[in-house]
């Protein structure tokens, strides 16, 4: 049939394949890529959730005594806010 020559991770697309076979192989690859991306997104959401829970479970943050402590506190609060917003967004 057509000349579909590509190297794939676990299969080779050969000249004997039909277009339907080729697109079935492509769909399998895309599905695997989407599954991997979805798994990575879930892993990152869990990490954000853990970051936020560590902050939420803390005893509170003492008043900064130096400018450096104040700056670090502002960075921490910014990270908590980013994690909070990301967790509120729906998939």
Closest Cα to residue 61, out of 44, 82, 79, 47?
79
Q: Which residue has the tokens 């039909």?
A: 18
Q: Please give the chain's pLDDT, 91 residues, in tens.
A: 344 445 454 455 566 678 888 888 888 889 888 999 999 989 888 888 888 788 777 777 678 889 998 898 888 888 888 888 887 876 5
**Enclosing domain of residue 77:** 6-88
Domain count for the chain? 1
Residue 7, SS3 per DSSP: strand
Its pTM stands at: 0.52
What's the token pair of residue 72? 């670090």
Residue 1 forms part of a structural domain = no
Q: Is residue 17 part of a domain?
A: yes
Q: Quick check: is 41 in a domain?
A: yes
Residue partners of 19: CB distance under 8 A and separation at least 6: 1, 2, 4
In terms of Cα–Cα distance, which of 87, 90, 91, 88 is closest to 45?
87
């Amino acid at each position: 049939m057509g000349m579909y020559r590509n190297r794939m991770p676990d299969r080779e697309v050969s000249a004997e394949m039909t277009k339907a076979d080729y697109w079935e192989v492509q769909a399998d690859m895309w599905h695997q890529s989407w599954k991997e991306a979805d798994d990575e997104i879930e892993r990152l959401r869990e990490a954000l959730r853990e970051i936020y829970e560590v902050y939420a479970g803390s005893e509170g943050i003492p008043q900064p005594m130096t400018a450096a402590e104040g700056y670090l506190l502002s960075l921490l609060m910014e990270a908590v806010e980013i994690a909070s917003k990301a967790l509120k967004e729906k998939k």
